[in-house]
């Protein structure tokens, strides 16, 4: 019988100095936590890290989740580029569609301008440029794969030649294949390799990393579903099963990134619950991507602010992700998000330095 136990890291601290045995490091990154919220059979309790060994000795799943939560996420070696997951990084969103909810239409018919925009985001600090040729907004029309390839391949080719690291944002195997053939390094699939029956085969054959995003019913599109009983637990369990299936199909676990799918088939309350519980997803043992930039929930919480007036909310959600140990932020506003990360890193470094100095006295 499958255990219903889940662990969410809580009680984060600025530094582990002087707290031996009392805190654990989150996913090999720059966050430490002092307790778990243990969720089991709909009940919640707090177990301090100092007392967790007793629970782990009694419950194999608790021990396994703890190992996943605290294990180092190995870097991705992508040709002459390396993506490290020991601190947060930014993936810049580059849409070449006529109908993206945020910025579609501006770059669709000008591959050179689109590539220049991607290079500019890279120069501003994006570690990765995520190129998409099909809108995933609600009720967006399905794009024929041939048209999607025509949109993205010329842009990806130019970006790769410039030395920019690229992921292809698509759910179609033919588009994945074409993008990888011209140098894309990562597949980012909103359907978690469900939409197209050939997509898993393409990823396995390429040996490339893949982002698996949650949506309620990927075969029908990214915005279906009938609601949730407990959205945090249900999304975790879905991703846990999907990661296991993709690994069984031949994709190395260390090449899988997970995304809880903020805004995809989820209500405002669902999205808020996922964001508040983000640290739970470290139990999957994979790096986490968070895509909350300019999402509708920001407008819903700020007097229906239009898409181009959601920078403040986007930064707030990015910082929520950083504090929960998210390794990759998928954003439109690269420079502003990178600046927020650098300020956070400065605060973190100062806390660590002052703690070591005090401990040395």
Task: Enumerate the active-site residues.
Answer: 295, 330
Q: What is the bridge-based pairing of β-strands 32-40 and 6-13?
A: antiparallel
Query: How far apart are alpha carbons 266 and 223 in whole angstroms?
Result: 8
Query: How far apart are alpha carbons 22 and 212 in whole angstroms?
Result: 33
**Cβ 315 vs Cβ 272: under 8 Å:** no
* Closest by CA position to 291, among listed 332, 238, 245, 247: 332
Widest CA span in the chain: 66
Query: How far apart are alpha carbons 214 and 151 in whole angstroms?
Result: 25
E-assigned strands of 194-352?
Answer: 210-213, 256-259, 289-290, 328-331
* Closest by CA position to 76, among listed 245, 264, 327: 327
DSSP class per residue in 92-123: EEEE--S--TTTTTSSTT-HHHHHHHHHHHHH
**Cβ 247 vs Cβ 203: under 8 Å:** no
Would you tell me the crossing angle of helices 173-181 and 199-206 to the nearest 10 degrees?
20
């Amino acid at each position: 019988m499958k255990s219903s136990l889940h662990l969410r890291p809580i009680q984060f601290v600025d530094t582990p100095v002087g707290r031996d045995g009392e805190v654990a490091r989150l996913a090999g990154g720059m966050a430490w936590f002092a307790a778990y919220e243990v969720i089991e059979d709909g009940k919640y309790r707090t177990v301090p890290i100092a007392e967790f060994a007793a629970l782990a000795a009694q419950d194999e799943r608790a021990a396994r989740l703890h190992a996943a939560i605290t294990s180092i996420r190995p870097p991705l070696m992508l040709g002459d580029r390396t993506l490290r997951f020991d601190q947060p990084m930014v993936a810049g969103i580059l849409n070449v569609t006529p109908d993206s909810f945020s910025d579609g239409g501006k770059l669709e018919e000008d591959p050179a301008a689109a590539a220049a925009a991607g290079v500019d985001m890279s120069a501003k600090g994006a570690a990765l440029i995520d190129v998409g040729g099909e809108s995933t907004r609600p009720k967006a029309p399905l794009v024929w794969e041939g048209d999607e390839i025509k949109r993205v391949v010329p842009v990806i080719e130019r970006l790769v030649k410039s030395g920019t690291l690229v992921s292809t944002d698509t759910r179609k195997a033919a588009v994945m294949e074409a993008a990888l053939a011209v140098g894309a390094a990562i597949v980012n699939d909103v359907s978690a390799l469900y939409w197209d029956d050939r997509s898993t085969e393409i990823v396995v054959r390429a040996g490339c990393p893949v982002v698996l995003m949650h949506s309620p019913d990927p075969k029908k599109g990214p915005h279906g579903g009938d609601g949730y009983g407990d959205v945090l637990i249900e999304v975790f369990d879905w991703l846990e099963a999907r990661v296991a299936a993709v690994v069984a199909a031949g994709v190395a676990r260390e090449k899988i990134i997970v995304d809880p799918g903020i805004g995809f088939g989820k209500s405002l309350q669902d999205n808020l619950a996922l964001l508040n519980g983000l640290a739970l997803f470290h139990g999957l043992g994979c790096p986490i991507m968070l895509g909350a930039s300019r999402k509708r929930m920001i407008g819903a919480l700020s007097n229906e602010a239009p898409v181009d007036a959601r920078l403040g909310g986007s930064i707030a959600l990015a910082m929520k992700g950083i504090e929960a140990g998210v390794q990759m932020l998928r954003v439109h506003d690269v420079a502003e998000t990178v600046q927020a990360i650098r300020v956070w890193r400065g605060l973190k470094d100062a806390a660590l330095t002052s703690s070591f100095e005090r401990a040395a006295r």
